[in-house]
């Protein structure tokens, strides 16, 4: 491999531009290699998780997670006597060098049983207090993640804004109507740039209020399949090339929002912002979209998967095809 010396010198002394370089504490030039290594571990994890869910292993292991800094897939292990049997499997043996076994006391089966018990207790409590109409008190402060690329802005209150930037543009066939899908319900939507409280460009009204789908009536609006990243000197637009699901623990995930802008890792969320990961080490402008942020809490955010959103529209609104794109909230 031949590298340009000037490029190497620049990457060492310059501030990282790519969101993953900031998240992982590396130079921009190293991002493709790290992203490729992460995708390799995600691939192994996908194979291994299916095997660990089988009856022969589910009580002996406690799940997996990716350790990018050690470049391995960590396997939480309850019964070490099952490791040799696992490594001997034809589907696993080619990846033995990438696995690291860590001692834990709770298996996947036990975790599932505990979660089911907690769910039953919670349901009983909710049903018991419902006649009293309890007042739900929400936390008013939020802790800041250490992995957050950009600090949360305190000068703008998202609840005071009449508008949020468009989040998901959809063409719903057979009508062929352009739509915007949001996590929040509003009456009329406008386009508003980052760092602005002004209403710049009208978009249109909500078409189905219970679903927060907005019909795009403004002919001057030209939706693009991109996620915005205006704060960066490079990678200002991230091109959406696919959708999907993400299930590997400690795989990177990012979101773009009007308050916190683009952040990666365990970051605070903006309701309505797209959730995505970078798709290719060969094109660091490309991303896969997984869903949209629906709510935020103390150091966490909840995300509704794109699969669930589209399934709901197909089933209840009777659209045959839905072509969607996401933009920064």
Q: Are residues 131 and 214 in the same domain?
A: no
Q: Are residues 299 and 270 in the same domain?
A: yes
Dist CA 215 CA 206 (whole Å): 6
Domain of residue 192: give its range. 158-326
Q: Are residues 165 and 117 in the same domain?
A: no
Contacts of 140 (CB under 8 A, 6+ apart): none
Report pLDDT for 9: 35
Report pLDDT for 15: 65
Q: Are residues 133 and 163 in the same domain?
A: no
Backbone φ and ψ of 321, nearest 5°: -135, 145
Dist CA 67 CA 320 (whole Å): 41
Handedness of CA 131, 141, 144, 238 (dihedral sign): positive
Structure tokens at 110: 């036990």
Q: Are residues 165 and 276 in the same domain?
A: yes
Q: Which residue has the tokens 């197909």?
A: 314
Report pLDDT for 304: 74
Q: Are residues 288 and 212 in the same domain?
A: yes
Q: Give domain status of residue 185, yes or no.
A: yes
Q: Give domain status of residue 224, yes or no.
A: yes
Report pLDDT for 241: 78
Number of domains in the chain: 2
pLDDT by residue (tens digit) across 120-142?
Answer: 998 898 889 888 887 766 555 44
Q: Are residues 311 and 274 in the same domain?
A: yes
Report pLDDT for 56: 93
Q: Are residues 94 and 218 in the same domain?
A: no
Q: Are residues 183 and 103 in the same domain?
A: no
Surface-to-core class of residue 246, CB atoms within 10 Å of its CB (0-12 exposed, 13-18 middle, 19+ buried): middle
Report pLDDT for 169: 38
Report pLDDT for 58: 92
Which residues of the chain are modeled with pLDDT < 50? Answer: 1-13, 141-186, 208-211, 267-270, 319-329
Contacts of 64 (CB under 8 A, 6+ apart): 45, 48, 49, 52, 73, 74, 75, 76, 248, 249
pTM for this model (two decimals): 0.61
Report pLDDT for 294: 66
Q: Does residue 260 contact residue 152 with C-beta atoms inside 8 Å?
A: yes
Dist CA 43 CA 291 (whole Å): 21
Q: Does residue 325 contact residue 168 with C-beta atoms inside 8 Å?
A: yes
Contacts of 68 (CB under 8 A, 6+ apart): 24, 34, 37, 38, 41, 250
* Buried/exposed 205-240: b ≥16 CB within 10 Å, e otherwise: ebbeeebbbbbbeeeebebebbbbbeebeebeebeb
Beta bridge pairs of residue 206: 214
Q: Are residues 82 and 113 in the same domain?
A: yes
Q: Give domain status of residue 236, yes or no.
A: yes
Geometric angle at alpha carbon 66, from 60 and 69, rounded to 5° = 135
Q: Does residue 245 contact residue 275 with C-beta atoms inside 8 Å?
A: no
> How does DSSP assign 26-60, residue by residue?
--GGGHHHHHHHHHHHHHHHHHHHHHHTSTTTTTT
């Amino acid at each position: 491999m031949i590298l340009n010396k000037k490029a190497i010198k620049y990457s060492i002394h310059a501030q990282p531009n790519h969101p993953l370089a900031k998240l992982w504490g590396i130079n921009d030039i190293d991002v493709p290699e790290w992203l490729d290594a992460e995708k390799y571990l995600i691939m192994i994890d996908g194979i291994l998780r299916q095997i660990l869910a089988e009856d022969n292993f589910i009580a002996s292991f406690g799940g997996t997670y990716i350790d990018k800094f050690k470049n391995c897939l960590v396997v939480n292990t309850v019964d070490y006597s099952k490791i040799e049997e696992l490594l001997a499997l034809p589907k696993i043996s080619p990846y033995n060098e990438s696995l690291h076994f860590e001692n834990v006391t709770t298996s996947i089966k036990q975790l599932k049983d505990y979660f089911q018990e907690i769910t039953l207790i919670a349901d009983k409590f909710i049903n018991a207090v419902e006649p009293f109409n309890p007042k739900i008190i929400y936390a008013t402060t939020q802790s800041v993640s250490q992995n957050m690329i950009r600090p949360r802005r305190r000068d703008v209150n998202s609840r005071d804004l009449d508008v949020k930037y468009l989040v998901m543009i959809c063409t719903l066939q057979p009508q062929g109507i352009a739509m915007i899908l949001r996590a929040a319900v509003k009456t009329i939507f406008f386009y508003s740039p980052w760092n602005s409280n002004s209403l710049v460009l009208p978009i249109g009204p909500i078409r189905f209020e219970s679903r927060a789908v907005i019909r795009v009536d403004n002919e001057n609006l030209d939706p693009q399949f991109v996620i915005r990243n205006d704060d960066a000197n490079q990678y200002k637009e991230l091109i959406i090339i696919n959708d999907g699901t993400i299930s590997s623990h400690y795989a990177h995930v990012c979101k773009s929002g009007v308050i916190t802008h683009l952040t990666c890792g365990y970051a605070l969320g903006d309701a309505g912002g797209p959730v995505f990961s970078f798709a290719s080490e060969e094109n660091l402008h490309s991303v896969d979209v997984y869903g949209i942020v629906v709510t935020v809490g103390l150091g966490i955010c909840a995300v509704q998967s794109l699969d669930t959103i589209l399934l709901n529209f197909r089933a209840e609104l009777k659209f045959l095809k839905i072509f969607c794109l996401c933009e920064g909230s």
